[in-house]
């Protein structure tokens, strides 16, 4: 046996070993890979769990072992598919020639230039993200390489004499293809495929990493890498072991492919004179020259690139760097960019951005309890029927360009808002103020400093509505050039995707803005935000969502973290038109869930636990509410037993009305909702309630939700966009609750109808409080918690960095340099 | 190439571009999900169905598929690539903004990749089967076996955070910003490329003309640089072209990790928010780039490989 | 004289080159092949011999002209009908190594033609293969070998064996001996002659070696630049050849019996490119006896003697 054969044998055995690990997973794994013990989450490797545990408390070693199955199988299927499809098409194209070849090759050209990622996402949308959709997407884009290869191989041999001889002998064309073309092309194709297995595995892992491939319901290495990323610093084993598994497997396959090629195509290792006999001395000279040339090349390239980038960059304001200590105070604020524009009429996101960056302000502003307080409007009055409002505009307010803010200016801003967002009037903006306030009519009395607003119907919450970022007051006379507002800072320049350079508004009405200049730096990634804060490249950062970074910063006194349990509630609607119509079942479910651990550990503190649909931080009497179904697993089981929902056939799942309980749970990947859904599924399974969890994208889930095809469905909703929860509470009004679970309660309906017409604040508060309690008592919905907003700052650089309850405000005039 | 060939090529490009854009339009159309709802979802409160329906009408989303496609295509011919749903701005503007950073990143990555891969490949080929060869091949193995997002995160962590050699983020679009993302991409590709270089060189070294040249007394260096290398370069060109094409399409993961504003992250955002016009614009760009790069590579081939040039009369 | 078994009339084949020029490989070629006889075709490289053979083997379709087999026109055959006709006309190739698929064993290769016409079991095919090997005087234990492990001469015999599998009436040999050394050539020629005697095989023998062709053929056709310039019984070649080109060829032939002092008289000049065929007689550019007419008019084919035709204005 020669060397090549020996190598092939070794690597084949290694490959076999890995495949065996996958096949024999149940024998090798130490634990059930799906068994979750939340309390054990994120444990380091030890004697009990060799690789540690993941964030659901599952044994990582077993998951890695089982993961081999999905990863290897899917990769092999992928490569086999590409080989078959590409090879077949290429051989046919090469042999047939003419129009057939042209068509196939054009299609190949098309697919090659089609962005694979787009296809993957589209397929994920069409059929739900899964390994299958990822495989199909990669296959659709990658077969072309094999087709080209097969075609070129066929072209080489199709004019050989033996083909002519066969034809003369009367062999059918089809037989020529199968007996001559195919065997000529196949070895090279197979070798190529073998060497591609490694790369394909990485591709699949990459897709799972981005969330386009395997979902949380399957055990796969790429997805595990994705999950572990948030814990990179605090629990590195979560990334290390799956990553290592991928690396080892890919390496072995690559080595196998190489050795196969050496075996069948022994050109490299046959020690031909060509390579070996290059004499040392001459080699050295050649290599030295080459190194010099390479270095020169690199240097030139670097210089060129530097020059190129130099002339490409805009002259920005004062650059990044730690602030403080210099005469001119400067703030570097790192945040996620939701919009490339700052004009309120363009999109919802641009209106929020302008407000968050401290550029625009409204007539009213929400306080910590999300009640609208006077701001640019300092006094107001409403008619009895709440249709006519008289708003007095604060005296002495100016735009950042010095133009006074008169009632006419405010009127102009509002009228522009409606005009620019109305396509009937030729407006191109996507913002939609109509959904909050149907277009009112305005009249301004600049002498008296009063703006009158006449609403189309009684609007008792006008202050709250006017506090919404759409209604940021801007100077319409200059809007075609720049966005000018009344906030503490004004825009000097904006570079989409990069950041915004701002400077102090010299005319700010509410005291001097603390910083001379501010650089807003757009950072897309949570971990990067954390790193930027720690390295000093930014002094202030909003909303870091990765668990390990959060924990690290919380533990470090050099950073101040302001947390607000915000206005968003994470919840899962229950569909009363199904098994969840059973009250006992619903109660048991609520009692089986350890909300505190889920909020603190599973989602690493991104939520504050709570039991009412309205967040605890709001002024809706959360502290007066009672929770009859606190976390108590035993009691949950007892309730189920008492209701006769028991497991009679010993399969571990309880039955309701003779059928195994299997709740259809829909979740989408946003703000940790899928994490909750996963954890809940596991906990429910612990008490014998079967759950089928589907995690998909927002639109798919919403479509299913609207069709009523669910038992449980996640949601993360802003409860008080304009400071009033009435719209949100309408989800449970029987008139429109079909998308939210067909809940129906006569008392609730009565309260809601009363709320619709009530205008007295105290009356409203009482109704809202009562409605909350009704929902709680009826166990109508699973409340996961309230999404936390946070602001992070370096203690030595910044003070006053508090986050508001409602996330319209980030950069406020309270944020100032540290003393 | 003759004028006729060039014309054929351009026609071919046009066909492919049309095909690709049609396909992507079709996919987006068929994919479930509603861009209107997605648009509103961002703010957390979805307006009632009538408002949604009205918006759909306004945006022309209820028209039949072909009508929408033709409308878009007609707009393209006028230079109007539509308005992004999620950003509210013109697609052409959004894409153009990010073209230059994408190009910069692509070029620098490519240069770095070549600077890394070629020497490694050459050393490996020239010292075939020596320890150095195995070492280098081992390194390239590691290179092609590691996920690139891992490499990126690692680099960011080590170089920027721990060693403070480079800023983690900055507002300047300068050279410093490019280094780490380009290096990540280069490392990911260099392993594969080095192996190609090695294979191509070995293939050339086997040829008869090398032995012939040696027999004629040419020095090893001369043989290497003036004969072997130029011949080996040709097949590598194609691969280089392909790499450039894919780089110019954007490199989403790296962009996200390093907060580098280029086309890849724009594409991902567009796709997840079902922003049809932006997706279409992006797909069009990708297709054009690929075709253009292919054309450039073919032209280069024709100039560089005398065998392909037109022969004179027999 | 029995009627001819394979006849070509006015066969013309043109190729379009990628740069737009047209290459005329064959122009108005006519020939007749009779049962049991060998027709030799000679000419320089580029004279269109191979193209002619391919057309006769129906591997390529003539752009103009007709092909007849036993009096019936077969030029229009396509698809399955064409395939069904194949057993009648078989071919042997110049490069025997390229003519066999490297991965097929001898028994398989030699009986492959049968697969498409008579389904046989493996054992039956091996039997057939053994018989075929016998006919070409190859040892039976070659059955399980690969064609590439055989010498050139043996492989060429194998080619003959394969061609015989379908019991054709016509055998086309395209430079079948050109890649072999002289002694092997002789053996192969012997084999062909004996096969012809045994089964009344018609052979078309294309070759550039005039002497070899003469020893093997009953009649000889001379081609130049895609046209037939002369056709005559091979026995009378040296004596009766009249076309200037044929005479030039005869003068240029080296023979063991040529007296040492004899002057070598090569044909002057070079053959023009088949893409730029001269007007009139194709040979006129090099003809020592050309006239005015020759550069303007194409000479018609005239019968000079029974069985002897020439295309030259001198006659």
| DSSP state string for B147-165 | -HHHHHHHHIIIIIIIS-S
pLDDT band at C298 (very low <50, low <70, confident <90, very high): confident
Does C116 map to a domain?
Answer: yes
Residues of C in contact with B310 (CB under 8 A): 19
Domains of chain A: 3-307 (1.10.3720.10), 330-558+795-817 (3.40.190.10), 561-790 (3.10.105.10)
Q: How far apart are CA A371 and CA C110, in angstroms?
A: 95
Question: Is residue B171 over pLDDT 70?
Answer: no
Cross-chain Cβ contact A267/B39 below 8 Å: no
The reply to whether B123 and B241 lie within a common domain is yes
pLDDT digits 0-9 by tens, C133-190: 999 989 998 999 999 999 988 999 999 999 999 999 999 999 888 888 888 888 899 9
Question: Checking phi first, is residue C65 left (phi over 0); if not, alpha (psi -120 to 50) or beta?
Answer: left
Strands C38-42 and C202-207: parallel
Return the residue of B nearest to A244 by Cα.
B146
pLDDT band at B38 (very low <50, low <70, confident <90, very high): low
The reply to whether B179 and B280 lie within a common domain is no
Q: How far apart are CA A184 and CA A176, in angstroms?
A: 11
Q: How far apart are CA A59 and CA B184, in angstroms?
A: 32
Q: Write phi, then psi, for A261 (nearest 5 degrees).
A: -65, -45
Q: Is A735 on the interface with B (CB under 8 A)?
A: no
pLDDT band at C2 (very low <50, low <70, confident <90, very high): low
- Residue A532's H or E segment, with its range, is helix A526-535
pLDDT digits 0-9 by tens, A495-513: 888 889 999 999 999 888 9
The reply to whether B115 and B225 lie within a common domain is yes
Residues of A in contact with B27 (CB under 8 A): 118-119, 122-123, 126
The reply to whether B235 and B153 lie within a common domain is yes
Best residue in A156, A164, A165 to probe C by mutation, most C CBs within 10 Å?
A165
pLDDT at res. A425 = 84
Tokens of A728: 């949100």
Within 8 A by CB and 6+ apart from B175, the residues are: A305, A306, A309, A310
User: Do C223 and C30 contact (CB within 8 A), yes or no?
Assistant: no
Query: Who wins on pLDDT, A266 or B299?
Result: B299
Question: Is residue A294 over pLDDT 70?
Answer: no
Cross-chain Cβ contact A699/B38 below 8 Å: yes
The reply to whether B251 and B109 lie within a common domain is yes
Tokens 């701001």 belong to: A375
Tokens 């093997």 belong to: C216
- Provide the CATH number for the domain around residue B224: 1.10.3720.10
Q: What does pTM read for this prediction?
A: 0.73
User: Do A718 and A741 contact (CB within 8 A), yes or no?
Assistant: no
User: Do A502 and A496 contact (CB within 8 A), yes or no?
Assistant: no
Question: Is residue A393 over pLDDT 90?
Answer: yes
Query: Who wins on pLDDT, C172 or A660?
Result: C172
pLDDT at res. A118 = 66
Q: What is the largest CA-CA distance in chain A?
A: 106
Query: Who wins on pLDDT, B227 or A81?
Result: A81
Whole-number percent of chain C with pLDDT over 90: 36
pLDDT band at B270 (very low <50, low <70, confident <90, very high): confident
Does C169 map to a domain?
Answer: yes
Question: Is residue B40 over pLDDT 70?
Answer: no
Whole-number percent of chain A with pLDDT over 90: 33
CA angle A622, A760, A731 (to 5 degrees): 55
Whole-number percent of chain C with pLDDT over 70: 96
pLDDT band at A390 (very low <50, low <70, confident <90, very high): very high
pLDDT digits 0-9 by tens, A621-636: 899 999 999 999 999 9
Does B6 map to a domain?
Answer: yes
pLDDT at res. A356 = 94
Q: What is the largest CA-CA distance in chain C?
A: 68
From the list A162, A172, A175, the residue facing C101 with the nearest CB is: A162
Within 8 A by CB and 6+ apart from A696, the residues are: A128, A129, A215, A666, A667, A668
Total tally of structural domains belonging to chain B = 2
A323-332, A478-487, B18-27, C227-236: lowest mean pLDDT where? A323-332
Question: Is residue A447 over pLDDT 60?
Answer: yes
pLDDT digits 0-9 by tens, C76-122: 888 889 999 999 999 999 898 889 998 889 999 999 988 888 888 98
- Residue A521's H or E segment, with its range, is strand A517-522
The reply to whether B123 and B248 lie within a common domain is yes
Q: How far apart are CA A261 and CA A267, in angstroms?
A: 9
Looking from the CA of B30 toward its CB, the CA atoms found within 13 Å total 14
Q: What is the DSSP letter of A689?
A: -
Long-range contacts of A160-164 (CB under 8 A, 24+ apart): A160/C98, A161/C93, A161/C94, A161/C95, A161/C98, A161/C99, A162/C98, A162/C99, A162/C100, A162/C101, A164/C54, A164/C59, A164/C91, A164/C93
Mean pLDDT of chain B: 78
Q: Write phi, then psi, for B25 (nearest 5 degrees).
A: -60, -45
Question: Is residue A671 over pLDDT 70?
Answer: yes
Whole-number percent of chain A with pLDDT over 70: 89
Task: Kindly report the number of other CB atoms within 10 A of residue A556's CB atom.
Answer: 11
Does C100 map to a domain?
Answer: yes
Tokens of A432: 């939609």
pLDDT band at A413 (very low <50, low <70, confident <90, very high): very high
Q: CA of A96, closest CA in chain C: separation in Å?
A: 14
Does C1 map to a domain?
Answer: no
Q: How many residues does chain B have?
A: 314
Residues of C in contact with A167 (CB under 8 A): 59
Does B93 map to a domain?
Answer: no
Final residue before a domain boundary, out of B241, B262, B283: B262
Which of A711, A712, A585, A685 has the alpha carbon at shortest distance from A640?
A: A585
Q: How far is CA B241 from CA A138, A195, B8, B13, B236, in A?
A: 20, 21, 20, 16, 9
Question: Residues A763, A765, A770, A772: what is their CA dihedral angle, to the nearest 10 degrees?
Answer: 150
First-residue to last-residue Cα distance in chain A: 78
Please report the ipTM that was assigned to this predicted complex: 0.89
Q: How far is CA C263 from CA A273, A518, A683, C240, C256, in A?
A: 48, 102, 108, 22, 14
Q: Which of residues 258-287 of C touch B (CB under 8 A)?
A: 273, 275-276
pLDDT at res. A304 = 53
Whole-number percent of chain B with pLDDT over 90: 1
pLDDT digits 0-9 by tens, A309-336: 433 333 333 344 444 445 678 999 999 8
The reply to whether B176 and B35 lie within a common domain is no
Tokens of A32: 């059930």
A341-345, A600-604, B3-7, B167-171: lowest mean pLDDT where? B167-171
Q: What is the DSSP letter of C31?
A: E
Best residue in B171, B192, B211 to probe A by mutation, most A CBs within 10 Å?
B171
pLDDT band at A129 (very low <50, low <70, confident <90, very high): low
User: Do A59 and A34 contact (CB within 8 A), yes or no?
Assistant: no
pLDDT at res. A323 = 43
Residues of B in contact with A332 (CB under 8 A): 171
Does C268 map to a domain?
Answer: yes
Give the mean model confidence (pLDDT) for residues A233-247. 83
The reply to whether B3 and B142 lie within a common domain is no
Question: Is residue A365 over pLDDT 90?
Answer: yes
Within 8 A by CB and 6+ apart from B106, the residues are: B244, B247, B248
Which of C252, C291, C292, C250 has the alpha carbon at shortest distance from C268?
A: C252
Q: How far is CA C57 from CA A61, A165, B263, C114, in A?
A: 69, 10, 59, 18
The reply to whether B82 and B201 lie within a common domain is no
Total tally of structural domains belonging to chain C = 1
- Provide the CATH number for the domain around residue C172: 3.40.50.300
pLDDT at res. B42 = 58
From the list B45, B156, B172, the residue facing A721 with the nearest CB is: B45
From the list A275, A428, A434, the residue facing B205 with the nearest CB is: A275
pLDDT at res. A314 = 33
Does B91 map to a domain?
Answer: no
pLDDT digits 0-9 by tens, A191-223: 888 888 888 888 887 777 766 676 667 788 888
Does C280 map to a domain?
Answer: yes
Task: Kindly report the number of other CB atoms within 10 A of residue A819's CB atom.
Answer: 5
Residues forming beta bridges with residue A242, ordered by sequence position: none
Residues of A in contact with C113 (CB under 8 A): 169-171
**Residue span of the structural domain in which C296 resides:** 6-311
Maximum average pLDDT range among A131-135, A218-222, C198-202: C198-202
Report chain C's C-alpha Rg in angstroms: 20
- Residue C42's H or E segment, with its range, is strand C38-42
The reply to whether B82 and B108 lie within a common domain is no
**Residue span of the structural domain in which B203 resides:** 98-262
Strands C170-174 and C202-207: parallel
Residues of B in contact with A716 (CB under 8 A): 44
Which of B287, B282, B276 has the alpha carbon at shortest distance from B84?
A: B276
A227-245 residues labelled b (16+ CB within 10 A) or e (exposed): bbbbbbbbbebbbbbbbeb
Question: Is residue B51 over pLDDT 80?
Answer: no
Q: Is A284 on the interface with B (CB under 8 A)?
A: no
Q: How far is CA B13 from CA A115, A236, B262, B263, B280, in A?
A: 16, 47, 25, 22, 17
pLDDT at res. C100 = 92
Q: Write phi, then psi, for C120 (nearest 5 degrees).
A: -130, 155
pLDDT band at B250 (very low <50, low <70, confident <90, very high): low
pLDDT at res. C280 = 82
Give the mean model confidence (pLDDT) for residues A455-466. 89
Question: Is residue A354 over pLDDT 90?
Answer: yes
Within 8 A by CB and 6+ apart from A278, the residues are: B126, B220
User: Do C266 and C288 contact (CB within 8 A), yes or no?
Assistant: no
Tokens 């651990």 belong to: A597
Question: Checking phi first, is residue C136 left (phi over 0); if not, alpha (psi -120 to 50) or beta?
Answer: alpha
Query: Who wins on pLDDT, B259 or C172?
Result: C172
Within 8 A by CB and 6+ apart from B177, the residues are: B170, B258, B260
Q: What is the DSSP letter of C258?
A: S
Does C147 map to a domain?
Answer: yes
pLDDT digits 0-9 by tens, A271-284: 333 333 333 434 44
Does B48 map to a domain?
Answer: yes
The reply to whether B190 and B310 lie within a common domain is no
Looking from the CA of A422 toward its CB, the CA atoms found within 13 Å total 12
First-residue to last-residue Cα distance in chain B: 19
Tokens of A488: 């503490």
Residues forming beta bridges with residue A790, ordered by sequence position: A563
Q: How far apart are CA C69 and CA A440, in angstroms?
A: 96
From the centroid of its chain, how far is CA C92?
A: 9
The reply to whether B207 and B298 lie within a common domain is no
Within 8 A by CB and 6+ apart from C181, the residues are: none
pLDDT at res. C40 = 93
Which of C296, C294, C292 has the alpha carbon at shortest distance from C311?
A: C294
Tokens of A359: 């550029």
Question: Is residue B310 over pLDDT 60?
Answer: no
Does C177 map to a domain?
Answer: yes
């Amino acid at each position: 046996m020669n060397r090549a054969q020996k190598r092939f044998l070794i690597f084949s055995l290694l490959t076999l070993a890995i495949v065996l690990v996958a096949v024999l997973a149940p024998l090798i794994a130490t634990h059930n890979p799906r068994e979750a013990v939340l309390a054990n989450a994120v444990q380091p490797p030890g004697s009990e769990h060799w690789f540690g545990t993941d964030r659901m408390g599952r044994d990582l070693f077993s998951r890695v072992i089982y993961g081999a199955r999905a990863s290897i199988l899917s990769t092999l299927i992928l490569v086999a598919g590409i080989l078959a499809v590409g090879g077949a098409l290429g051989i046919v194209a090469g042999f047939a020639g003419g129009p057939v070849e042209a068509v196939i090759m054009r299609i190949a050209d098309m697919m090659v230039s089609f962005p694979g990622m787009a296809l993957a996402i589209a397929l994920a949308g069409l059929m739900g993200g899964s390994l299958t959709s990822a495989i199909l997407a990669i296959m659709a884009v990658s077969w072309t390489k094999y087709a080209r290869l097969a075609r070129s191989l066929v072209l080489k041999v199709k004019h050989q004499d033996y083909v002519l001889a066969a034809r003369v002998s009367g062999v059918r064309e089809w037989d020529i293809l199968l007996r001559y073309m195919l065997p000529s092309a196949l070895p090279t194709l197979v070798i190529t495929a073998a060497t591609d297995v490694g790369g394909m595995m990485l591709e699949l892992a990459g897709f799972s990493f981005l969330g386009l491939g395997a979902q949380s319901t399957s055990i796969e290495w790429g997805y595990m890498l994705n999950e572990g990323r948030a814990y990179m610093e605090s629990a590195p084993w979560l990334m290390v072991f799956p990553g290592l598994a991928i690396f080892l497997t890919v390496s072995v396959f690559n080595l196998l492919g190489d050795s196969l090629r050496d075996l069948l195509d022994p050109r490299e290792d046959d020690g031909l004179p060509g390579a070996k006999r290059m004499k040392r001395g001459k080699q050295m000279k050649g290599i030295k020259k080459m190194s010099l040339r390479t270095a020169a090349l690199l240097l030139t390239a670097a210089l060129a690139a530097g020059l190129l980038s130099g002339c490409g960059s805009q002259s920005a304001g004062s650059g990044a760097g730690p602030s403080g200590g210099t005469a001119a105070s400067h703030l570097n604020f790192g945040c996620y960019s939701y919009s490339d524009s700052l004009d309120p009429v363009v999109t919802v996101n641009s209106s929020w951005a302008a407000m968050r960056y401290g550029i625009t302000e409204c007539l009213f502003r929400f306080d910590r309890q999300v009640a609208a307080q006077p701001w640019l409007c300092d006094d107001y009055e409403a008619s009895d029927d709440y249709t006519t409002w008289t708003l007095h505009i604060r005296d002495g307010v100016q735009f950042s360009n010095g133009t006074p803010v008169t009632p006419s200016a405010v009127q102009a801003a509002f009228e522009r808002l409606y005009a620019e967002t109305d396509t009937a009037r030729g407006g191109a903006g996507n913002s939609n103020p109509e959904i909050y306030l149907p277009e009112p009519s305005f009249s301004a009395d600049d002498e008296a400093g009063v703006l009158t607003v006449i609403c189309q119907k009684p609007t008792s919450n006008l202050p709250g509505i006017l506090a919404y970022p759409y209604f940021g007051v801007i100077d319409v006379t200059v809007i075609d050039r720049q966005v000018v507002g009344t906030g503490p800072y004004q825009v000097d320049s904006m570079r989409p995707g990069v950041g915004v350079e701002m400077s102090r508004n010299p005319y700010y009405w509410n005291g001097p803005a603390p910083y001379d200049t501010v650089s807003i730096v757009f950072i897309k990634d949570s971990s990067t935000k954390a790193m930027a804060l720690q390295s000093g490249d930014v002094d202030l950062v909003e909303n870091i969502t990765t668990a390990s970074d959060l924990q690290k910063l919380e533990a470090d006194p050099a950073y101040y973290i302001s947390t607000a349990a915000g206005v968003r509630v994470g919840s899962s609607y229950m569909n009363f038109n199904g098994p969840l119509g059973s009250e006992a079942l619903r109660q048991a479910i609520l009692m089986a869930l350890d909300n505190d651990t889920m909020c603190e550990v599973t989602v690493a503190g991104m939520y504050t636990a709570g039991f009412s649909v309205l967040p605890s931080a709001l002024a809706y009497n959360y502290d007066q509410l009672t929770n009859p179904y606190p976390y108590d697993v035993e009691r949950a089981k007892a309730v189920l037993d008492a209701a006769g929902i028991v497991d009679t056939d010993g399969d571990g799942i309880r039955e309701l009305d003779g059928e195994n309980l299997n709740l259809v749970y829909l979740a989408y990947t946003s703000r940790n909702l899928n994490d909750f859904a996963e954890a809940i599924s596991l906990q429910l399974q612990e008490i014998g309630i079967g759950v089928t969890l589907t995690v998909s994208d927002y639109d798919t889930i919403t479509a299913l939700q609207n069709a009523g095809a669910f038992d449980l469905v996640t949601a993360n909703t802003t409860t008080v966009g304009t400071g009033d929860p009435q719209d949100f509470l309408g989800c449970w009004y029987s008139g429109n609750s079909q998308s939210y679970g067909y809940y129906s309660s006569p008392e609730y309906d009565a309260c809601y109808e009363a709320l619709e017409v009530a205008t007295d604040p105290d009356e409203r508060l009482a109704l809202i409080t009562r409605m909350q309690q009704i929902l709680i008592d009826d166990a109508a919905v699973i409340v996961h918690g309230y999404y936390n907003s946070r602001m992070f700052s370096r203690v030595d650089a910044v003070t006053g960095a508090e986050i508001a309850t409602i996330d319209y405000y980030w950069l406020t005039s309270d944020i100032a340099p540290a003393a | 190439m003759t004028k006729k060939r060039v014309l054929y090529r351009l026609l071919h490009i046009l066909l492919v571009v049309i095909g690709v854009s049609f396909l992507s339009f079709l996919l987006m159309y068929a994919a479930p999900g509603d861009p209107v709802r997605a648009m509103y979802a961002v703010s957390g409160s979805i307006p009632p169905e009538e408002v949604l329906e009205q918006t759909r009408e306004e945006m022309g989303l209820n028209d039949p598929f072909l009508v929408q496609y033709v409308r878009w295509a007609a707009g393209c011919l006028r230079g109007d690539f539509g308005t992004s749903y999620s950003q509210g701005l013109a697609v052409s503007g959004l894409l153009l903004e990010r073209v230059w950073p994408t190009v910069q990143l692509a070029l620098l990555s490519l240069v770095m990749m070549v600077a890394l891969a070629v020497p490694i490949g050459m050393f490996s080929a020239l010292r075939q089967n020596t320890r150095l060869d195995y070492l280098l091949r081992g390194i390239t193995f590691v290179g092609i076996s590691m996920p690139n997002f891992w490499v990126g995160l690692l680099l960011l962590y080590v170089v920027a955070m721990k060693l403070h050699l480079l800023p983690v983020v900055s507002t300047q679009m300068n050279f410093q910003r490019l280094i780490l993302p380009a290096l990540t991409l280069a490392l990911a590709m260099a392993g594969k490329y080095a192996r190609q270089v090695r294979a191509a060189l070995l293939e050339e070294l086997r040829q008869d003309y090398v032995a012939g040249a040696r027999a004629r007394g040419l020095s090893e260096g001369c043989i290497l640089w003036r004969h072997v290398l130029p011949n080996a370069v040709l097949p590598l060109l194609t691969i280089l072209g392909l790499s450039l094409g894919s780089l110019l399409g954007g490199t989403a993961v790296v962009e996200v990790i390093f907060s580098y504003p280029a086309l890849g992250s724009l594409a991902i955002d567009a796709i997840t928010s079902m922003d049809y016009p932006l997706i279409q614009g992006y797909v069009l760009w990708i297709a054009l780039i690929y075709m253009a790069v292919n054309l450039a590579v073919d032209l280069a081939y024709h100039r560089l490989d005398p065998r392909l040039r037109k022969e004179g009369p027999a | 004289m029995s009627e001819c078994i394979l006849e070509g009339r006015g066969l013309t084949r043109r190729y379009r080159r990628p740069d737009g020029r047209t290459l005329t490989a064959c122009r108005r070629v006519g020939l007749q092949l009779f049962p049991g006889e060998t027709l030799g075709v000679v000419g320089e490289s580029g004279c269109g011999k191979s193209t002619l053979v391919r057309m006769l083997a129906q591997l390529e379709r003539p752009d103009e002209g007709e092909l007849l087999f036993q009096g019936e026109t077969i030029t229009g055959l396509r698809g399955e009908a064409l395939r069904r006709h194949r057993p009648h006309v078989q071919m042997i190739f110049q490069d025997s190594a390229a003519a066999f698929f490297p991965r097929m064993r001898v028994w398989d290769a030699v009986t492959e033609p049968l697969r498409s016409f008579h389904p046989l079991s493996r054992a039956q095919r091996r039997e057939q293969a053994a018989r075929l090997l016998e006919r070409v005087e190859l040892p039976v234990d070659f059955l399980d070998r690969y064609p590439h492990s055989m010498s050139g001469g043996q492989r060429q015999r194998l080619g003959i064996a394969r061609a015989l599998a379908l019991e054709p009436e016509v055998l086309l040999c395209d430079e079948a001996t050109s890649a072999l050394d002289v002694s092997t050539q002789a053996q192969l020629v012997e084999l062909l002659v004996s096969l012809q005697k045994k089964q009344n095989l018609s052979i078309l023998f294309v070759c550039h070696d005039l002497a070899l062709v003469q020893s093997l053929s009953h009649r000889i056709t001379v081609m130049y630049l895609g046209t037939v310039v002369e056709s005559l019984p091979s026995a009378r070649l040296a004596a009766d050849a009249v076309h200037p080109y044929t005479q030039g060829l005869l003068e240029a032939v080296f023979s063991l019996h040529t007296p040492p002092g004899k002057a070598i008289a090569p044909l002057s000049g070079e053959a023009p490119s088949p893409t730029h065929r001269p007007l009139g007689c194709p040979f006129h550019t090099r003809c020592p006896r050309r006239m005015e007419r020759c550069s303007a008019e194409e000479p018609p084919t005239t019968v000079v003697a029974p069985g002897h035709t020439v295309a030259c204005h001198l006659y």
